[in-house]
């Protein structure tokens, strides 16, 4: 975790915002409705029985009872994903495929797919954040220690720092003076 903002507050408190590195196990937990396969890495399987291979899907393999949607990627300083092809032939192409049971979303299918694609894009670009409120204390040996008194992670893909911090501040129990001090740092 990389700290991207650190603000000293009253009463020996410190507010830290960090970039969260979510591993593949957590990613699998986030996407139980979907299976995402790519040349990069496969996430998920069908009923914990059959691993899906991207190369097989690229060659036209069908899976009974499942829909397969190609996911396109545009890679140029960061990765952008879409269910539609990008116009640039040099930095874009098929990035992977989204596999899910037919009827999973009913009338909300496109909304579910778009949400998955945006969240996955945030994951692969490392746009996942969290915050910690720590309290510094001096132990009986005279050493300074930090104790976590509040911590929340899983803030995905904010376009700017202000929106990210404001969203985080909705989840904290701080005085208005402390919140004002944090906002003054962004």
Provide the pLDDT for residue 157.
79
- The 10 Å CB-count burial string (b at 16+, else e) for 140-152 is eeeeeeeeeeeee
Domain residue ranges in the chain: 2-21+127-184, 24-124
> What is the mean pLDDT of the segment spanning 27-35?
57
Please check whether residue 113 is in contact with residue 34, taking contact to mean a CB–CB distance below 8 angstroms: no
User: What does the pLDDT look like over 84-126, one tens digit per residue?
Assistant: 988 887 888 888 888 888 887 778 888 888 888 888 888 888 8
Question: What pTM was estimated for this model as a whole?
Answer: 0.70
Cα distance between residue 58 and residue 61, in whole Å: 7
Please calculate the CA angle 83-88-93 and round it to the nearest 5 degrees.
Answer: 50
Mean pLDDT for all residues in the chain: 81
Q: Taking residues 48-70, what's their average pLDDT?
A: 72
pLDDT of residue 48: 47
C-alpha torsion sign, points 50, 53, 56, 57: positive
pLDDT tens for residues 156-177?
A: 877 778 888 889 998 888 889 9
Output the CA–CA distances (angstroms, integers) from residue 159 to 21, 29, 122, in the order listed.
18, 24, 10
128 is written with which tokens?
Answer: 């996942």
pLDDT for the residue 53 = 66
Q: Over range 143-151, report the average pLDDT.
A: 92
């Amino acid at each position: 975790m990389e700290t991207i903002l650190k603000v000293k507050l009253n009463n020996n408190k410190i507010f830290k915002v960090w970039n969260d590195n979510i591993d593949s196990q957590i990613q699998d937990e986030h996407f139980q409705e979907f299976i995402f396969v790519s040349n990069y890495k496969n996430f998920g399987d069908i009923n914990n029985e059959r691993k899906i291979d991207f190369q097989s899907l690229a060659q036209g393999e069908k899976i009974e009872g499942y829909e397969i949607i190609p996911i396109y990627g545009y890679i140029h300083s960061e990765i952008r994903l879409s269910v539609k092809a990008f116009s640039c032939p040099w930095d874009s192409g098929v990035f992977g495929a989204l596999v899910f049971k037919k009827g999973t979303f009913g009338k909300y299918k496109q909304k579910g797919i778009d949400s998955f694609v945006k969240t996955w894009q945030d994951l692969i670009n490392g746009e996942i954040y969290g915050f910690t409120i720590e309290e510094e204390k001096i132990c009986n040996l005279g050493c300074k220690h930090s104790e976590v008194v509040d911590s929340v992670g899983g803030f995905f893909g904010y376009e700017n720092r202000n929106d990210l911090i404001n969203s985080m501040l909705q989840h904290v129990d701080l005085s208005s003076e402390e919140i004002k001090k944090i906002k003054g740092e962004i």
